[in-house]
Structure 1
Amino acid sequence: MKREMVWRSDYKPDERRYFHMPNKNVFILALFYAFIYMSTGSFSSYIGVYFTEAGIGNTEIGILTSIGAVVGLVAQPLWGLAGDRSRTKNRILMLCTLLSALTVWLVPWAGTAFIPALLAMALFSVFQIAINPLSDAITLELSSKGVVRFSSIRTFGSVGYAFISVAAGWLFARHIDTIFLVTSVIMMACFFLSLGIPTVAGHQSGSSKRVKLTEIFRSRQLVVLYIYTLVLSTTMGFLWAFQAIYSKEQGISMEVIGIGLAIGSFSQFPFMIFFQKFYNRFGIRRILLFSGFIHTLRWCLYAFALTPFTYILSWVLHGGTYILFYMCLAEYVNKHVVKELRATGQMLNSMIQLSVGKIIGGMLGGLYVAQFGFHSAFLLLAGIGLVSTAGFYTVSRMFQVFSDKLEGRVLENVNGMRIPD
């Protein structure tokens, strides 16, 4: 790879320097992201199967597999503040990867008793849920300095996820107990790889002034973005909880469901690889309006015409849903949130998209399905998608949120922090 020098002029005079894009940094971060998402694919996708074979009931399995989202509501903002206030964010990332590799063993040691298993899953989740947003905060800051390109690095995460989904499925079908060994080894590899990631400072460390979490919500744009994200994330939370069950009821085979999930992972690649070009050309507002339309279209396919063909089509469209919000949130927080709260901002992104979205979509969705059925539920999701997208369009037009004129403007408050107008 050709070494590219990038001059950064947005630093203080004594901080200006040339940044290089060496092979080593790209290789380490690409491999790190691949392994991180491999650990997610190996554990989250198959832990329910392990509990089933251990003789644990479906109700208990539902609680055990959702405890991570509940833990994330409290733990993720705290980890974000810890990263921002640490001397380097890398220290917190190293700690979380190492302790994830160790605490995953608490789950098999807990046996089949529900309370010990719940505590084990909760403790593992405390460390595991911080890894992805911390990694994003570090990589995005390195990307802004010209060290790596975030969209390209993130693509390797999906490659790792797609690979492990197939490999782990084959292995766990024969030896489900190896799920903990595989996850622990992968997480330990992540720990060693994290030692080689270029350091990124926690901008509230040392004598730096402490910045309150509430400062993030002073940005009108970000509040609107979070509300829109939360609404559509609840619909995605319902999909992840019930799509396989509903699809089987409609006569979709497990083989087709598996193919659809793999296609969904690969469908994200173009949006990640070319995200920066899309972002620069169309802006966050147009991208998220497009994504809202794709969300709505997917729910219509489930509600009106679920066949093997339309099921596969819905996963071809998957690249236009979750990953676009994920990338836009990550990019927006990195560019517009004060540097003292960027790790916290990435944690909030993850909490809203995954933790809160899964809890609301899964729990309330389950109650709704019990009363009105899946068909009615997906009709409701389509309506929510349409109304929320129209609402985002109206609000952004009415208040000029994310307009070209306002998006680049910032104010300096009394503490010298950059607050989007």
Structure 2
Amino acid sequence: MPNRNVTTLAIFYAFIYMSIGTFSSYIGIYFTEVGLGNSEIGILTSIGAVVGLFAQPLWGILGDRAKTKNSILMICTFFASVTVWLIPWAGTLFVPLLLGMALFSLFQIAINPLSDAITLELSSKGIVRFSSVRTFGSVGYAIVSVAAGWLFTTHLNLIFLITSFIMLGCFLLSLGIPKVAGHQSSGKKVQLISIFKNKQLVLLYAYTLSLSIAMGFLFSFQAIYSKQQGISMEVIGIGLAIGSFTQFPFMIFFRQFYERFGIRNILLFSGFIHTLRWCLYAFALTPFTYLLSWMLHGGTYILFYMCLAEYVNSYVVKELKASGQMLNSVIQMSVGKIIGGMLGGVYAAQWGFQSAFLMLAIMGALSTIAFYWVSRRYRVFEQREPGNS
């Protein structure tokens, strides 16, 4: 049965990231087309992060305390496929749109970290390999990004039909994923706050947040800004696909990179790539530099995602593994997107997108330097990190 398990999870991950490529990458353009302003778009595209800030820790607790984590995953995938329809039904009214986005996000935000918690535990048992399965997520994202960039040029409303169909597929696939227990379903309960006793993880979260703010702004506004600079929807779709493909080597060979270089060196490299990307957006956004920016994407989000997922799976107690993965998502997506999307939208409305990307480049450089200094000064990754001898 191992081959069947790998196939099910590979297709499941492909579907998860196909839904992200369909919905998250283009919903900002949809809101622009229905006549909303940048500040309103910033709020709408960030409300999921606000919901996640409160809901993801609760989903994590439910996952850890349920008989199986899979049951919570099934609930989230099914209701995400239904609630996405609330957004087009809301029309152009801001408050109903906000409520629709919030309810859809309530279920959608839990899917990735729950899937990671389940797959990482299966990986630790030798049933599947997490990095390989996760690669199929980027394959799905790349495929749908190109197709969506072409399709949504003339049929933008199909965002909701395609997202709903894909999420329903995720629900059906989740029925076949091997069961993983919630380790607090019986016995003593472990409080979530105990995770923050790990000072290394707290440092990782602080550095992750500083760079995730920029990624939150990028995910909310890059398509809108790029269109303003004369970049076509087709090129935007190709860029998103390129970004997905550039993640492949980092996922496929992540274990080798992790053991050879360690978290600190991997994330310092990623901080440099983050900063370089924002400089391209700030100083020279053309179709060529747009595609170049997405060629650098493999060195940004996915490295933090994989390092945090691996670290939590290795060093957080088993009773809090689902909660730990949820916290990773809260830090990397929710809090970063709230600040980057909401406040970034307000800043861009006042001073423009170019100025916003320049500020993010400066912040990226300073946070990378700070992470290097703190980690060297206090030698926080030199005893337990795999990459250090």
Q: Please confirm whether the aligned pair reaches a TM-score higher than 0.5, indicating the same fold.
A: yes
Change in Cα spacing, 1:204 to 1:407, as seen in structure 2 (3 Å) is: same
- Say yes or no: does 1:235 pair with 2:217: no
- Residue 182 of structure 1 aligns with which residue? 162
1:114 counterpart (90, 94, 99): 94
Q: Which residue of 1 aligns with 2:329?
A: 350
**Structure 1 counterpart of 2:246, one-letter code:** S
Provide closer, same or farther for how the CA distance between residues 141 and 283 of structure 1 changes in structure 2, counting only shifts above 3 A: same
1:319-343 Cα distance to aligned partner (Å, 9 max, x none)? 0001100010101011011111111
| Match 2:300 to one of 302, 308, 321 | 321
Using the alignment, how far apart are the partners of 1:140 and 1:170 within structure 2? 35
The Cα shift of 1:309 comes to 2.9
The separation in 2 between residues aligned to 1:265 and 1:82, in whole angstroms, is 31
Query: Residue 291 of structure 1: which of 270, 274, 281 is its match?
Result: 270
CA separation in 2, counterparts of 1:118 and 1:368? Answer: 20
Shift of the 396–196 alpha-carbon distance from structure 1 to 2, 3 Å rule, reads same
**Alpha-carbon distance in 1 for matches of 2:141, 2:207:** 27
Q: Write the deviation string for residues 132-176 of structure 1: whole angstroms up to 9, x where unpaired.
A: 110001001111111111111011111111112233344444444
Number of the residue aligned with 1:272: 251
Q: Aligned partner of 2:49: which letter? A: A
SS in 1 for 2:46: helix
**Paired AA for residue 141 in structure 1:** E
Q: Give unmatched runs, 5+ long, in structure 1.
A: 1-20, 409-421
- 1:69-109 Cα distance to aligned partner (Å, 9 max, x none): 11111111110111011111111001111111222233333
Give % identity: 76
Work out which structure has the larger RCO, using CA pairs closer than 8 Å and 6 or more positions apart in sequence: 2
CA RMSD of aligned residues (A): 2.1
The answer (yes or no) to whether the contact 1:151–1:273 under 8 Å persists in 2 is: yes
Q: Is 1:260 paired with 2:239?
A: yes
Q: CA deviation at 1:293?
A: 1.2
User: What residue in structure 1 maps to residue 49 of structure 2?
Assistant: 69
Query: What residue is the counterpart of 1:87 in the other structure?
Result: 67
Q: Select 1:32's aligned residue among 4, 9, 12.
A: 12
1:217-244 alpha-carbon deviations (Å, 9 max, x no partner): 0000000000000001112222223334
SS at match of 1:402: coil
Deviation at 1:245, TM superposition (A): 4.1
Change in 2 beyond 3 A, CA 1:299/1:179:
closer
**1:22-421 superposed matches below 5 A:** 22-54=2-34, 59-206=39-186, 208-403=187-382, 405-407=383-385
| Distance change >3 Å, CA 379–CA 83, structure 1 → 2 | same
Stretch deviating more after TM superposition (131-140 or 235-244)? 235-244
Cα deviation per residue 1:341-393 (whole Å; 9 max; x = unaligned)? Answer: 11111111111111111111123323433454444433322222222111111
With 134-143 and 382-391 compared, the bigger mean Cα shift is at 382-391
- Cα distance in 2 for partners of 1:376, 1:107 equals 31
Aligned partners of 2:38 and 2:349 also within 8 Å: no
- Do 1:401 and 1:407's aligned partners in 2 also have CA atoms closer than 8 Å? no
- CA 1:250–1:271 in 2, change beyond 3 Å: closer, same or farther? same
Q: Does structure 1 retain, via aligned residues, the 8 Å contact 2:316–2:324? A: yes
Moved more, 110-119 or 367-376: 367-376
| Contact 1:400-1:406 at 8 Å conserved across structures | no
Q: SS where residue 296 of structure 2 aligns?
A: helix
Counterpart residue identity of residue 366, structure 1 = G
User: For 1:182-228, what per-residue CA distance to the aligned partner results, in whole angstroms no more than 9, with x for missing partners?
Assistant: 2222111111111111111111112x211111101000000000000
- Matched residues, number: 386
TM-score w.r.t. length of structure 1: 0.85
Return 5+ residue gaps in structure 2 as ranges: none
Alignment partner, residue 411 of structure 1? none
Contact 2:41 2:345 in 1 (8 A): no
| Cα pair 1:97 1:127 within 8 Å, conserved | yes
| Paired position in structure 2 for 1:6 | none
How far apart in 1 are the matches of 2:6 and 2:148? 26
How far apart in 1 are the matches of 2:375 and 2:341? 29
**Which amino acid in 2 is paired with 1:324?**
L
Query: In structure 1, how many angstroms separate the alpha carbons of the residues matched to 2:129 and 2:63?
Result: 21
Task: Tell me how far apart the structure 2 counterparts of residues 117 and 312 of structure 1 sit (CA, whole Å).
Answer: 32
Offset at 1:300? 2.5
Asked whether the equivalents of residues 303 and 375 of structure 1 are also in contact (C-alpha less than 8 Å), the reply is yes
Secondary structure in 1 matching 2:169: helix
**Higher mean displacement: 254-263 or 366-375:** 366-375
Q: Equivalents in 2 of 1:254, 1:232: separation in Å?
A: 26
Q: 3-state SS of the aligned residue for 2:183? A: coil
Whether the 8 Å contact between 2:42 and 2:346 is mirrored in structure 1 is no
